[in-house]
Chains A and B, each alone.
Chain A
Amino acid sequence: MIQDISNADFLDIINILKLQYGYDFTGYAHASIRRRISRFMTYMRLATVFDLKHRLVNDEECFDRMVQYITVNVTEMFRDPHFYRTMREQVLPKLAAYPNIKIWHAGCSTGEEVFSMAILLEEAGLLNRSRIYATDLNPVNLEKASSGILPLNNMRDYTQNYIQSGGLNDFSNYYVARYDNVLIKKELRKHITFFQHNLVTDKVFNEFHLVCCRNVLIYFNRSLQNSVLKLFHDSLAARGYLAMGIKETMKFADIHEQFETVHVQHKIYRRKE
């Protein structure tokens, strides 16, 4: 059974993470992060919040596991296939105008979304002049993503997604299967750089024609969303694109007037001049 964590305890835990480890979860949506912390306690067999605090203060490994556990890492290739179809039809043709295309995937988790984008670019003939920066807060995710290895048993679903996204090739051309895993082909991956970047504390690091940040902002509260959207705005070239998750919206953001809407359902926006 999930333990209830009092608000005071919750703030204490958040403070330890911030002061001792430099990870600031203050602006995360409380309903979900509190639940995840208490699930972590169950998983670690920690009976009380005091035990959790004690472990966190004294045991860095407990912290590493906690970060891995409380961030939501679920992802898929070509998740929301119709979003990818819109990218193919409406966004990539515009990106084609740039001699060198720069893309940022923020909150890329284990890379599935990034590999999907590389496939779209390849099929549009743009991959060779594209550079993809893919970042996440969670080092374990980044390590997995960099390996290019995915579980084989997901490939059937991903193939369906790929086809629904308008993909016309044989999907299995993009990977080699080895035992229970697949390895995404090097030719796709060599255009991608994975590295750590925390959207809460780290800054603008380049200028992009497309920023993809999907299913990350839902875990943040309004005010953190506002500051991260500002970061994206400042990271985009004029007329650069921003793609968000299907359930996320620019509607309630302070900065919404600085963006125009490219596709309402698929949550694709464009920075104004």
Chain B
Amino acid sequence: MTDRYDVITIGGSAGSLAVITKILDALPPHINTPVVIVLHRLRNVRSEMSRLLSTKRTISEPEDKEPVKEHCIYLAPQNYHLLVEAERTFMLDYSELVNYSRPSIDMTFSSIADVYGEKALGILLSGANKDGAAGLCQIVAAGGMGIVQDPQTADFEVMPRSALDMCKGVKCLSVADMIRYIMGEIL
């Protein structure tokens, strides 16, 4: 059995936490496909985000050069950009903010587009700025799949709306349909 995707990457900002929790809770505990999550977080506030996100799943913040492993859910650590290198290992980058954000969703999405091509599934959720839109378009341009949360169902619509405006070929789904889509493709 081969999965359609080798990685699922999810980005979100304001209003996305509950949606991410919902998606993770819906995933079967032993899915192969690694999940890489990028959330905008507050700078220098010791974050309980990884615990908050979901109680059922173990979520880890990768360290530099850690391989992207199956069955694992990763969260970009606060204050670093999270990239994936050609060897499918993580790289952490403490450079300037991108779209006023670090971690920046664009940075992660764009590196995943380069490395995974058509084997990448990118999902962009609610958020109040446009970080992630360009990256999602890169995933689509590289042959992968890009999905946004239907702006009408998002607490903040700027983020998914920007992706829809920026490129064609991005799918627009409600959260329930998104979950249905993922389940259909990874099992």
* Chain A residues with CB below 8 A from B89, complex form: 222
Determine whether the beta carbon of A31 is less than 8 Å from that of B111. Answer: yes
Those of B23-68 within 8 Å (CB) of chain A: 44, 63-66
Determine whether the beta carbon of A248 is less than 8 Å from that of B93. Answer: no
User: Smallest Cβ distance from A224 to chain B, in angstroms?
Assistant: 11
- Considering the complex, give the chain B residue whose CB is closest to the CB of A251: B63
User: Smallest Cβ distance from A29 to chain B, in angstroms?
Assistant: 5
Determine whether the beta carbon of A225 is less than 8 Å from that of B65. Answer: yes
* Chain A residues with CB below 8 A from B85, complex form: 29-31, 221
Chain A 25-39 per-residue mask, 1 if CB under 8 angstroms from chain B, else 0: 000011110011000
* Chain B residues with CB below 8 A from A29, complex form: 83, 85, 91
Taking the complex as formed, is B94 at the interface, i.e. its CB lies under 8 A from any CB of chain A? Answer: yes
Determine whether the beta carbon of A218 is less than 8 Å from that of B93. Answer: yes
User: Smallest Cβ distance from B140 to chain A, in angstroms?
Assistant: 14
Determine whether the beta carbon of B80 is less than 8 Å from that of A247. Answer: yes
* Distance of A160 Cα from B96 Cα, bound (Å): 21
Chain B 88-100 per-residue mask, 1 if CB under 8 angstroms from chain A, else 0: 0101111110000
Taking the complex as formed, is A195 at the interface, i.e. its CB lies under 8 A from any CB of chain B? Answer: no
* Chain B residues with CB below 8 A from A245, complex form: 94
* Distance of A2 Cα from B96 Cα, bound (Å): 15
Those of A214-248 within 8 Å (CB) of chain B: 215, 217-219, 221-222, 225, 245, 247-248
Main secondary structure of the interface of A (DSSP, over half): loop
Q: How many residues of A contact B (CB 8 A)?
A: 24
User: Smallest Cβ distance from A113 to chain B, in angstroms?
Assistant: 12
- Considering the complex, give the chain B residue whose CB is closest to the CB of A217: B64
* Distance of A35 Cα from B138 Cα, bound (Å): 14
Taking the complex as formed, is B86 at the interface, i.e. its CB lies under 8 A from any CB of chain A? Answer: yes
User: Smallest Cβ distance from A255 to chain B, in angstroms?
Assistant: 14
Determine whether the beta carbon of A247 is less than 8 Å from that of B84. Answer: no
Determine whether the beta carbon of B134 is less than 8 Å from that of A1. Answer: yes
User: Smallest Cβ distance from A8 to chain B, in angstroms?
Assistant: 15
Determine whether the beta carbon of A249 is less than 8 Å from that of B95. Answer: no
Residues of A within 8 A of B (CB): 1-2, 29-32, 35-36, 72, 74, 157, 215, 217-219, 221-222, 225, 245, 247-249, 251-252
Which 6 pairs from chain A and chain B are nearest by CB? A72-B95, A31-B83, A247-B92, A31-B111, A218-B64, A249-B63
Given A74-B94, A251-B63, 20 new contacts (CB under 8 A): A29-B83, A29-B91, A30-B86, A31-B86, A31-B111, A31-B115, A36-B95, A72-B95, A72-B96, A74-B95, A157-B44, A215-B94, A218-B91, A218-B92, A218-B94, A219-B93, A222-B89, A247-B80, A252-B65, A252-B66
